[in-house]
Every structure is written in C-alpha cells, then in structure tokens.
A and B are shown apart, each in its own frame.
Chain A
C-alpha cells in the first residue's frame, strides 16, 4: 500500500517535469512582445466569453425557475399547460430572436430599431468584445425570460395556440425594439438612460405585457365573488414553487453579473453579485414582515415574491450602487410587491402568480432607483438624487420607464386583440373548470393521483 503511493508520487513528479520541459520552447517562441500581447488578448477574450456563456447558461436555467414557480402557484389541473407554455416559449423565443429579434435589437439602423442582421447574416464576428454567437445566446436567454413572465400572469385560462403566437411576436418584435432603444444604441441610450441588466428591458416589458394580457382575459372562474371579494385559488405545490424561487435567485447571478460581458479585474462582477444577493435577501425579509403584520401569518408565497421583487429591482442598478443602497432598493421592493398584489385584487385584476407586481411594478421601481442611488464613480453618467440632489438622471430614468410602458401597453394590446379575434384568447368555461391539462393537452400532470377539479 505504502510502496504503491510512493511509486505514484514519483510518477507524478516525472510527469510534471516532463510537462515543464515541453512547455519551455513554447514560452520561448511566444516570448516576443507582440506575441505575448496577442496571447493576452486572446486569453482575455476567452475568459470573457466563458463568463458570458456561463451567464447565458444560468439565465437559461431561470426558465426552469419560472416554470416551477408558476406550476407551484397554480392549481394541479393546469400544471401540464403552464409547463408546456414555459417550455415552448423558450423554443419560440430562440427562433424569433434568431430570425428577426437580434437584427431589430442590435443591428445597425435608426434610433427606433435596427434593420440589419436577419438570421445573424452579415454581422461582425465579434460583438462587445466577445464572439457574436456567445453574445447572441446570452441575449436570447434574456429574451426568453421576458416572454415567459407573461405565462404566469395569464395562467389557468389562456388558450395554448394563442400563447404560442404571442410568444413568437413578443420575442421577435416587441422585446427587441425596446431592447434596441436601451441596449442597441437607440434613442434612450443616446439620452443617457441606464438599465444595467434589464429591469426595464426584460422585467418592465414582461410585467406590463402580463398586465395587459391578464386584464384582457378577465379573472379566472371563481376568483372574485359577486360582491367583488377575492377568493383563494391556492397554489397546489409550494415545495415546487420554493425550488423555482431558489433556481431564479441562483440564475439571477448570471443575469446581473453576466451583463458585464467581461470579467475585468473582478471588482465589478463582485459588486454586482453582492448587490444582487443583498437585495433578494432583504426583499424576502421585508415582504415576510409586511405580510405578517398585515395578515397575521408569515406567508411563504409572499416572502418568495418579495425576494423576487428585490431581484427585479436590483437588476437595473446592480452595477451603479453601493451595497447599502442595494439593501434599501430590495427592502422597498419587498414592501411594494405586497401592496401591489393587494392593489390588483382591489381592482379585480386576476394575476395568479403576481407577475405584474413582481416584474412590472418593481421593474419600474428598480429603473428609477438608478436615478436615486446611482453614482458617477461607479460608472454612471450623472450622480443619483441622494448624492447632491441632482434630478437629471432620475428624470431620464422616468422618461425611459414611461415610454417603455406606453410602447408595451399599446403594442401588446394590439397583439392580444388580434389573437383574440383570430384564434381566441380564452378557453371555454367548462374546460376551465375541468382544467386545461385535459382540455388542451389531453394529459394530466399527476397521472395516477386522484386530483379532482372541485374548485
């Protein structure tokens, strides 16, 4: 036994020596100044590419998070349906963003939209210092996230074909156009509008699209009593929803820190990671405390919504603020989301998973927070309001939020109206009561279990 390990050690040493000897000529060859510079550039680009791809993979994994959250927060009889929507919308978004979306978002064009690079044809092989294909994948994952937010808001009553059409249209046209304004060199970015990782581009777009959709669909059967009082249509699997929130939180590190598109010396991605985590954590705490105080019990589903709200709000300012500001931003978002859920119930707008309060309201709040807590020393054009009372950046952020909301509300109203007139937006009452799993897909999520649609 002992002898064997000695031999192994010896063998290892010989191998190391051999490797060093082999690498000496390689070093010698590239030891000219020009060669090492080129190596260094290659190395940096390689590192950045790995970083961005890692981010893309994490953001892709968030798709699973959205799926689990939405499935957990709705009733068992609609589970297959919501998961099919979550699954297919990423497929549709990949396609739409490849054929049309990327060109509209990042192609050369005017302030409103890009017009070059359909199917990525005729574009430079690198974009933002990394290979085009890696950059595309990262952006496509974001596009999928914007599309899938809407599934939750319109859950349990939207027709499946309508959803397929919608998901292609938002990822091919609506998301990329807003994206072009902000990230593709469009009019908002020229104005100095800042949205580091997408509180506006992804979350405001998805959240307000969900609001338009869910108010057009009308509430689920039995959600509101005749006198307007909201009924509980409780989610069927809280463990699944919790897993989804953890996956989203995990994926968000890729969403925010990956948006640097480079590793640099690591200080920026470090700051973004800590800000992201702090905002989520305190969002969860504040939401739990709020709901505890208002309704008497620490409701897990609301606490989780609070963590997600913190994450959405910190998405835009994550690079431009100090950790203390991240705490303030996350805490306020955790409170806002609870009041947002209550407000929707008061207005009788039925949003089964809270897609609008989390993504819409907190997306806008996060965007405005740049104008309040952002710092020029951290890379922002103007100091935020708390540093010297300059309202400039806050004003720009407001213009960006308002114009994005206006564009999304108008364009999504048209999209959903057209879908409603052609294929129909909402399923029939009988099918809704029986469940979309059997009606739309002819299969059940929990085969062999006795789940009765008694609600």
Chain B
C-alpha cells in the first residue's frame, strides 16, 4: 500500500481530477496548502505599491492506493498538472503501514478498495 501525496497548482485541480477519473482513480482527499518551491512567487500591486507574494496557494492531494495502482495514479497527476513551467508541483510516494475502513472495520488492501 502506498500513499501518493501531490502538491499542484490550484487551477490545475480540475485537469488532474479529470485525468485521475480517466485512470479509474476515484478516491482522493484534497486540502488547501500554502507553499513555495523554485517558483518564488508572483507580484501583486496594491495602491501603486508592488509586493511579492512568496508563499503560494497550492492544493494538496492525498490518495491511498494499492501497489498495482501507483504507477497510473502518478502518471495521471503528472498528465493533469504539467504545464512545463516552474511551479507545476511535486509528487511524493510514501509507504503506507495500515488502512482501516471505519464503517466495516476492514483492514489493509481491502480497506483501500
């Protein structure tokens, strides 16, 4: 079992979701996150004064998958989120020790479903 964690541009969420659905991945958690990487930020201006917004709005996706789904999940996120510009985001794949479905008490592979 793996946990796929991805930080992507908020405005790419729609495309990523679409790509995930195509890859038959329907389960995910999405949270808002702030972050910065190589992108540094962008400029806003307020009443004539420019300022840099450094911590950028990102969206964090968390998807728990069984081993045989890791590759297509990661590929789908890349396909949906990539523009080729700095700031497209990162994907981390972590080992997942346990998974429990609260409703039934099922554990492990079955619980991920």
Contacts and interface: CB of A to CB of B under 8 A. Distances in A.
Given A442-B44, A452-B32, A454-B59, 16 more contacts: A221-B14, A430-B83, A433-B11, A433-B12, A434-B10, A434-B11, A438-B42, A442-B43, A442-B45, A443-B45, A450-B34, A450-B57, A452-B10, A452-B57, A453-B11, A454-B32
A444 interface: yes
A453 B14 CA distance: 10
B28 to A, nearest CB: 12
Contacts, number: 35
Contacts of A444: 44
Contacts of B64: none
Contacts of A452: 10, 32, 57, 59
Interface size class of A (residues with CB under 8 A): 10 to 19
B19 interface: no
Contacts of B10: 434, 452-454
Contacts of B59: 452, 454
B46 interface: yes
6 residue pairs, one from A and one from B, having the closest CB atoms = A433-B11, A434-B11, A452-B10, A452-B32, A442-B45, A453-B10
Interface string B3-14: 000000011111
B11 A443 contact: no
A452 B34 CA distance: 10
Q: Which of A221, A442, A443 has the most CB of B within 10 A?
A: A442
Nearest to A450: B32
Nearest to A226: B18
Interface of A: 221-222, 430, 433-434, 438, 442-444, 447, 450, 452-455
Interface residues of B, number: 16
Contacts of A443: 44-46
Interface in B35-56: 42-46
Contacts of A455: 14
B30 A454 contact: yes
A454 B13 contact: yes
Contacts of A221: 14
Contact of B11 (A430, A447, A450): A430
A443 B42 CA distance: 11
A221 B43 CA distance: 25
A433 B44 contact: no
A222 B45 contact: no
User: Most A CB atoms within 10 A — which of B10, B14, B30?
Assistant: B10
A222 B14 contact: yes
A443 B45 CA distance: 6
B99 to A, nearest CB: 25
B26 to A, nearest CB: 16
A208 B52 CA distance: 42
Nearest to B43: A442
Given A442-B44, A442-B45, A433 B57 contact: no
Contact of A438 (B30, B44, B83): B44
A198 to B, nearest CB: 37
Contacts of A450: 32, 34, 57
